[in-house]
Amino acid sequence: MKKGKKTESIPSREIDKTMYSVEPHYEDTAPSKKLTKPLTSISPPGAEPMMPGSFKNPKNNNDKLKQLDDFRSDPLGESLRTNQGVKISDNQNSLKAGLRGSTLLEDFILREKITHFDHERIPERVVHARGAGAHGYFQVYKPLASYTKAEFLQDPHVRTPVFVRFSTVQGSRGSADTVRDIRGWATKFYTKEGNFDLVGNNTPIFFIQDAIKFPDFVHAVKPEPHNEIPQGQSAHDTFWDYISLQPETLHNVMWAMSDRGIPRSYSMMEGFGIHTYKLINAEGRCHFVRFHWKPVYGVASLLWDEAQLLAGRDPDFHRRELWESIEAGDYPEYELGLQIIPEEDEDNFDFDILDPTKLIPESLVPVHLVGKMVLNRNPDSYFNETEQVAFCPGNIVSGIDFSDDPLLQGRLFSYIDTQISRLGGANFHEIPINRPVCPFHNHQRDGMHRISISGAANYEPNSINNNWPRETPPAGGVFSSYPQLTTGEKIRKRSGTFIDYYSHPRLFWLSQTKVEQNHIIGGFSFELGKVVRPWIRERVVDQLTYIDHNLAQAVAENLGIELSHEQLRHPLPGPVNGISKDRSLSIYDGHSQVLKSRRVAILAADGVCEKSLAIIMKSLHDQSIHTMIFSPHIGKLRTLQGTELNINGTIEGNPSVLVDAVIVPDGKQSIDTLLKDGNAKYYLLQAFKHLKVIGLQGEAQRIYDAIPLPAADEGMITGNAALELAADFIEAMKLHRVWSREMIAGQIPA
């Protein structure tokens, strides 16, 4: 039947063409160019990168991005075609037997489109399913030849391309970013000698000592098997049951219950390779090493109430911030730190350096900052890059080697194994994001989705191809395992040097400020409060009595558990190598905060004083703080002086949990409007409750009388002069939160 010809089944009824048939259109379905056009320069603080699409700064190119260019498809000006290259004239209507007739199997365009769609999903990662990635580069500060022959750690002029993926552990791909969890931090260095993957977390230790326990641990933390609840959380029975029965988990649990479990952003958390690795220099000398990432923007965390609210208000909070920071030119930066231990000092510690549940106190072995990583480009395709990237702790380069850490050894097997099923076969190394930037040739062949076309001889030795590709004699750049002496019986047993579960959690506890300790108590109390079986709660609290009696007592009180005298007499562990407190373990113990990339909400309505607004914004921008004007309505803000300014969003749609601090500029009419707006008043109450700095200028001070804000404190900045107010406001922001307010914050009804 010919297209457009009426069939007999629809004879008499008048067909309203506009309702029932959609004609193919070529222009009007295309997005307007104006909307998707990238910015021409990095947006300054204040000019928020709210537009869709990603700005690619041409200066930020590197070898990996150039390699990816070969795989990018640019559809601009191109015809729509099938996967076989046939041009498509109608992408709106399937082929039918008559206008209202049945669809024809013959329609290869429909079949191809639907079939491909049916297979769009791949298995998500069994852990770390939720993630966000970015490209960037790493540059070493000075040659590290005395420790390692790794080529990418020698020349300070060389920028090694990297791809980083941050993740949560427990939740599925669509879960919220701000849940209480460990954050994964995987970095792929595309070095000229092959890919080096540093696959770490945001805590320096892990929950278990041996890989054989990993499936049990993960089963326990994942949603419960019968009802798949809860999502993205460890606050449930199976997790805490496991914890209470495996005291080696307690150290990492302490970190998870602390503010480290709810980072403010991916650019404000520390990263750790966790395991002890080896560095090998050109003379064959070995040093043990632990890898660290230190964020240049400082370390900061959310508050628990804020994190929970964010999970609803903006489940993409961390992902969005990473994206927007890069678009805005606030490139996240991290310094690579090394804790180096000469091979002969291996046994100089109270603990075993092969034990991944123990950290090496920084006051004992200092962290040397040896280079910097800058994340300066967003991916073009989430799926192609962030989802298909395959990290593996087994991907190392010459100059780096593994230790005998039994957790690390198990990981070496697991990652490739899981990727073979997740990415559909053994050739996932050929997916563009996973390819090394150096050439790679070998005799491996075939398999699902093989892309490279190999020549006539795929074995060796061969004479057909003159025995190419050939082995390279061991020298610089060629990997050869460190010739470590090994002896011992084949045995399934844990070393006695691994059996101390409480001294490190206690060191962590004692190193926290009072505020941080209270947060840890709050974390345990919240999570255990969700545990249904009372004996599990009791067993966890009993475990805590071996770490610190005050901690155990406080959590017990919140859970209505009475500790016995015997429990309160449990012996407490001593210091670790003589250290009972290490400042590096605290986030807030005197560490000053970096303001760059922080966000301040400016609440304003029509009639705001333009001069004040301009002074406040300029002062904040001078500190590289981003400002966003939120108003009761979106569109243009008409100032007292009659100028029209762009509004970044509504007050209702951009709650205070999204920003670090809030400021309300002068302007009678503006304040009159805000005082009638429940969202604006709630905004300030909630910001106060979350210990944020609040600035009220001029007329805005009337807000004090109108809403039940408790008495002023050092985080409530008031005054008439915009310049002085902004200066005080910035000073107060340097503490990240108004910690002194925390005791009364609970009284705020927000």
For residue 205, state whether it binds ligand HDE (rule: CB under 6 A): no
588 labelled ligand-binding: no
For residue 214, state whether it binds ligand HDE (rule: CB under 6 A): yes
Residue with Cβ nearer ligand HDE (407 or 725): 407
Residue with Cβ nearer ligand HDE (221 or 716): 221
| Nearest-angstrom CA–CA distance, 376 and 389 | 18
Whole-angstrom CA distances from 247 to 110, 242, 485, 580 are 57, 9, 32, 20
Write out the H or E segment, with its range, that includes residue 194: strand 194-201
- Both tokens of 304, joined, read 């628990």
Write out the H or E segment, with its range, that includes residue 731: helix 722-733
- Both tokens of 666, joined, read 């002068």
| Nearest-angstrom CA–CA distance, 183 and 202 | 5
For residue 704, state whether it binds ligand HDE (rule: CB under 6 A): no
Write out the H or E segment, with its range, that includes residue 524: helix 514-529
For Cα atoms 242, 248, 252, give the angle at the middle one, nearest 5 degrees.
85
Residue with Cβ nearer ligand HDE (272 or 546): 272
411 labelled ligand-binding: yes
Residue with Cβ nearer ligand HDE (169 or 732): 169
Q: Which stretch binds ligand HDE (CB under 6 A): 103-111, 124-132, 609-617, 718-726?
A: 124-132
For residue 126, state whether it binds ligand HDE (rule: CB under 6 A): yes
Q: Whole-number minimum distance, CB 456 to ligand HDE, in Å?
A: 35
> Which residues, 325 to 364, sit near ligand HDE by CB under 6 A?
356
Helical spans, DSSP H, in 185-236: 214-221
- Both tokens of 517, joined, read 């300790």
Residue with Cβ nearer ligand HDE (201 or 654): 201
> Which residues, 629 to 688, sit near ligand HDE by CB under 6 A?
none
Chain-centre distance of CA 377, in angstroms?
15
For residue 206, state whether it binds ligand HDE (rule: CB under 6 A): yes
Tell me, residue by residue from 74 to 103, as one string, x for binding to ligand HDE by CB under 6 A and - for no binding: ------------------------------
Pairing type for strands 716-719 and 693-697 reads: parallel
> Which residues, 380 to 439, sit near ligand HDE by CB under 6 A?
391, 407, 410-411, 414-415, 418-419
Pairing type for strands 368-377 and 400-402 reads: unpaired
Whole-angstrom CA distances from 554 to 550, 560, 567, 748 are 6, 10, 14, 23
Which of these is catalytic: 62, 128, 252, 654? 128
Residue with Cβ nearer ligand HDE (291 or 502): 291
Side-chain half-sphere CA neighbours of 265 within 13 A: 30
502 labelled ligand-binding: no
Helical spans, DSSP H, in 82-201: 108-118
DSSP three-state, residue 611: helix
Q: Whole-number minimum distance, CB 167 to ligand HDE, in Å?
A: 5
Residue with Cβ nearer ligand HDE (267 or 673): 267
Closest listed residue to residue 392, CA positions, set 616, 553, 154, 186: 186
Among 65, 99, 179, 211, binds ligand HDE (CB under 6 A): 211
Number of residues that bind ligand HDE (CB under 6 A): 26
Among 45, 62, 125, 594, binds ligand HDE (CB under 6 A): 125
Write out the H or E segment, with its range, that includes residue 374: strand 368-377
DSSP three-state, residue 614: helix
Q: Whole-number minimum distance, CB 326 to ligand HDE, in Å?
A: 18
Residue with Cβ nearer ligand HDE (322 or 407): 407
Please state the φ and ψ torsions of residue 706, each to the nearest 5 degrees: -90, -25
Residue with Cβ nearer ligand HDE (206 or 729): 206
Residue 441 known to be catalytic: no
Which of these is catalytic: 60, 62, 195, 201? 201
Residue 201 known to be catalytic: yes
> Which residues lie closer than 8 Å to 237 by C-beta, 6 or more apart?
224, 531, 532, 533, 536
Q: Which stretch binds ligand HDE (CB under 6 A): 25-33, 48-56, 75-83, 127-135?
A: 127-135
Closest listed residue to residue 615, CA positions, set 605, 627, 633: 627
> Which residues lie closer than 8 Å to 724 by C-beta, 6 or more apart?
none
> Which residues, 143 to 202, sit near ligand HDE by CB under 6 A?
165, 167, 184-186, 199-201
Q: Whole-number minimum distance, CB 580 to ligand HDE, in Å?
A: 26
Tell me how long the chain is. 750
Q: Whole-number minimum distance, CB 127 to ligand HDE, in Å?
A: 5
Among 68, 109, 127, 616, binds ligand HDE (CB under 6 A): 127
422 labelled ligand-binding: yes
Tell me, residue by residue from 527 to 566, as one string, x for binding to ligand HDE by CB under 6 A and - for no binding: ----------------------------------------
- Both tokens of 192, joined, read 């000229």
Closest listed residue to residue 65, CA positions, set 433, 375, 390, 327: 433
Q: Whole-number minimum distance, CB 724 to ligand HDE, in Å?
A: 46
Q: Whose structure tokens read 């506009």?
A: 18
319 labelled ligand-binding: no
125 labelled ligand-binding: yes
Please state the φ and ψ torsions of residue 161, each to the nearest 5 degrees: -65, 145
Return binding residues for heme: 125, 165, 214, 411, 415, 422
Binding site for ligand HDE (CB under 6 A): 125-128, 131, 165, 167, 184-186, 199-201, 206, 211, 214, 274, 356, 391, 407, 410-411, 414-415, 418-419
Q: Which residues does the annotation mark as catalytic?
A: 128, 201
